[in-house]
Amino acid sequence: MKAEFKSSLLIAVMVFIFSSCSNDWGQADPPAGNQVYPTMEKLVTYTFDSDEELDPLVFNLKSYPGGQQPAIIEDEIAASPVLSLDGGYVRMMNPWTVKESQAAASMTFWLKQVRKPVADNEARAEGDEEVQLEPQDISSPLFHWENENGSSKLDFSVNGWWKYTGVDGSWEVNNPTEYATGYITPDEWHYVALVLRDDSYGIYVDGEKKIDSPAGTDISNVVQFMTRAPYMFINYGADTHASFLIEDLTIYRNSISSKEIAQPKKGNIGGGGSGDEGPDLSKWIMVGADDNSNGFWQVFSEPVGLNGNGTIHYEFYNYTSGNENWHNWVLVITNNGGMSTGGDSELVVFRADNYGWGALYENNAVLSCDYNWDTFKEDMKGAYVSIDIVRNGTDIVITAVTTTADGKTYNYKMEVPNVNVPTIGTFFTLENAHLLFNPDATFVGRTYSNEEFTLGNKDKTSGFWTCWTPVEVFDTDFTNFGFEFINHHGANNWQGWNFVITNGKQAPDSGDGYAEQLFLRCDNYGWASLYDGCERTCNFDWTTYIDDMTDAKCRVYFKTDASGQFTMVARQTTADGRAMPEYRCKGDGFTFPLGIIFTCEGSWLDFSKVGYFPWVDMEPQQ
């Protein structure tokens, strides 16, 4: 659905940065009490190293008409035996049934989808001419679960298509008839990690997150079915069937951690790591000494403020001495948009261990969490924390989702009513801990769920200059304002995102004096009064550009300075997780008021964030 996109005049976002420096999160569970705390556990790994491993008491190997029975073959790239499914399928006892899952189920595996030559090319497959391959099958289930009488079924395909139909309802995401995600490309090996939780799901390919959905949709019945169905199938569940190679299929109880998600080394594929390295933290922002020696209120993060309604988001690793429960992160909410000056300026102090204080804390704030206090000190060592501060009117809701190093997830929430100040500030301090912030994840502004705010027709029929986002107006210099969206590209280079810098007026002109300072397309072309004087740089591979831009995740940042110089930086990631070359535009002579509008042609955009990314480094990165 399309959302009404409100003007920035109705929501002003203030970002306060006082010193130099180099994204939809879970809902809290009820207060701690009688909860069962989810514990990750590896149940089994199928290495498919030999025919003897295919125990007929566990695996039933079947072939389709004209196909081959699944078999163990040697693969040169994987440098090991693998399970080949070429016109056949496997029915196996569901490995999750050996032990009850509590809140999630996870699996990892190596996968290669093999496309075959089209029929009229098979005869020349060994010749000199290029062989035309069949289109990728993104609909046929890779994995399938069903109950004894077939009344309930669950499928997963390489499009990331989860589809459940059962006596207790239905659920699906990433239907390939609606769009191709490009999550798992054919004819090459990929390391895949899947997590299905009671309220969300995650798909990771080659160690990169393709999607980790916001919590909120109750799919606990799907998780229960997946882990309790008597049978699990590979390459089964539809009238058409793809050809797969699969290796090292590992089944986990509950949610896996970044260690299991990271791509390991496998033969001649993989990242060369052991799976233990995690992300590159060299450009992240550290607060506190790395020996956890700082006392309380000695070090602080840069403050980020919000004027009006909106969301402030942070992500960071929490490192702690582990000596006391309170030796962790501390979030401070102020009434002045910046750092605390003491006294009444502190609206709320939100401590990691379900405690706090401040002007609005006593007899006002409501806290809930599902921590396991028996393991809390150890759980917080190296835990990854995602925090949202959401303001709506006079109400603030703070949600912290903590993922421990071994994959457990905890939810912590504070609700603060009666916030009667126009601007709030946020910053972090700590005690006997240190924090490592992801600068690209820090955000303040408006957030949107999947397809809540879109631009252009989903069938890609929108003509040129027929759709626009409402104008974002700036009357003075600004920095790090940006848009995050998925670009569903069209058939030509120019059929993707475009932006317009106006004189502060909305498009199209309704007799209000609308004028364009710059029109710039995604394919490094444009026009308008200041276009010729702009310096533009990009190193796109134009032979693959349309494929690269199809369903690409895009971040487009803007800033100005006192000299009248304007800068745009576009950082884009292909649907299969590859970073595209950075696209930059810089020009002089821009004047205020200055408006930013997005438009598109023969394509459509799905926005997820509009606002400030205050800690992003806009200097050239490539």
Q: What is the mean pLDDT of each run of 10 residues along the chain (622 residues)?
A: 30 35 31 44 88 82 89 84 92 88 88 82 50 86 93 94 94 90 91 93 90 85 94 86 91 85 74 43 85 92 95 95 96 84 79 94 90 95 94 96 88 95 96 94 95 96 96 96 97 97 84 89 96 95 94 97 93 89 96 96 97 95 66
Tell me whether residue 11 is in a domain: no
Distance CA 312, CA 252 (A): 33
Instruction: List beta partners, residue 232.
Output: 92, 145
Residues 6+ apart with CB under 8 A from 386: 25, 313, 314, 315, 400, 401, 403, 441
- Asked if residue 22 is part of any domain, the answer here is no
**Both 437 and 460 in a single domain?**
no
List the structure tokens of 402. Answer: 């903590």
Compute the distance between CA of residue 550 and CA of residue 447 in angstroms, rounded to an integer.
Answer: 22
180 in the same domain as 201: yes
Same structural domain for residues 315 and 464?
A: no
Is there a single domain that holds both residue 494 and residue 545?
yes
Identify the pLDDT of residue 341: 60
As given in the structure block, the two tokens for residue 313 are: 């988001």
Using CA atoms, how far apart are residues 61 and 53, in angstroms rounded to an integer? Answer: 12
Of 195, 190, 159, nearest to 177 by C-alpha is: 159
Residue 24 lies in a domain: no
Is the domain of 142 the same as that of 253? yes
The DSSP string of 557-575 is: EEEE-TTS-EEEEEEEE-T
Instruction: Locate 131 and state its tokens.
Output: 């062989």
Reported as half-sphere exposure (CB side, CA atoms, 13 A), residue 381 has a value of: 9
Considering the entire predicted model, what is its pTM?
Answer: 0.60
b/e code 51-83 from CB counts within 10 Å (16+ = b): eeebeeeebebeeeeebeebbeeebeebebbbb
Rounded-to-10 torsion of CA 32, 35, 36, 40 = -40
Distance CA 432, CA 497 (A): 46
Position 372 in a domain: yes
Q: Let me know whether 441 and 455 are in one domain.
A: no
Q: Which amino acid is at 495?
A: Q
Its domain, for residue 401, covers 285-445
- As a dihedral over the C-alpha atoms of residue 295, residue 298, residue 302, residue 303, rounded to 10 degrees, the angle is 90
Residue 105 is part of a domain; what is its CATH number?
2.60.120.200
Domain tally, the chain: 3
User: 376 by DSSP, 3-state: which?
Assistant: helix
Residue type at 22 in one-letter notation = S
Q: Please check whether residue 174 lies inside any domain of the structure.
A: yes
Helix, strand, coil shares, percent, the chain, to 5 = 5, 40, 55
Check whether residue 220 and residue 354 sit in a common domain.
Answer: no
Q: Cα dihedral sign for 140, 145, 147, 151?
A: negative
Which string of b and e fits 285-301 if b means at least 16 CB within 10 Å?
bbbbeeebebeeeebbb
Q: What is the CA radius of gyration of the chain?
A: 26
Residue listed under structure tokens 């000190």: 377
- What one-character-per-residue DSSP string does 328-370 give? SEEEEEESSSSS--SGGGEEEEEETTTEEESTTTTTT-EEEE-
18 within some domain: no
CA dihedral sign, ordered 339, 341, 347, 352 = positive
Chosen domain end from 386, 417, 445: 445
| Whole-angstrom distance, CA of residue 422 vs CA of residue 336 | 9
The whole-number pLDDT of residue 405 equals: 81
Q: Please report whether residue 20 resides in a domain.
A: no
Q: Using alpha carbons, select from 365, 465, 352 the residue that is nearest to residue 411.
A: 352
Determine whether 533 is exposed, middle or buried from the number of CB atoms within 10 Å of its CB (0-12, 13-18, 19+).
exposed
The CATH number linked to 322 is: 2.60.120
Same domain, 295 and 345: yes
Question: Does residue 405 share a domain with residue 550?
Answer: no
Same domain for 98 and 223, yes or no, is yes
Which of 411, 445, 479 finishes a domain?
445
Residue finishing a domain among 261, 296, 314: 261
Q: Are 92 and 233 contacting, i.e. CB atoms less than 8 angstroms apart?
A: yes
Residue 2 in domain = no
Three-state secondary structure readout of 6-19: CCCCCCCCCCCCCC
**Vertex 190, ends 188 and 192: CA angle to 5°?**
155
Q: Are residues 250 and 180 in the same domain?
A: yes
Q: Report d(CA 229, CA 152) in Å as an integer.
A: 9
Provide DSSP, 452-504. TEEES-TTS-PPTTS--PPPEEESS----EEEEEEEE--SSTTSSEEEEEESS
**In this structure, are residues 13 and 307 in contact, taking their beta carbons and an 8 Å threshold?**
yes
Are 519 and 403 members of one domain?
no
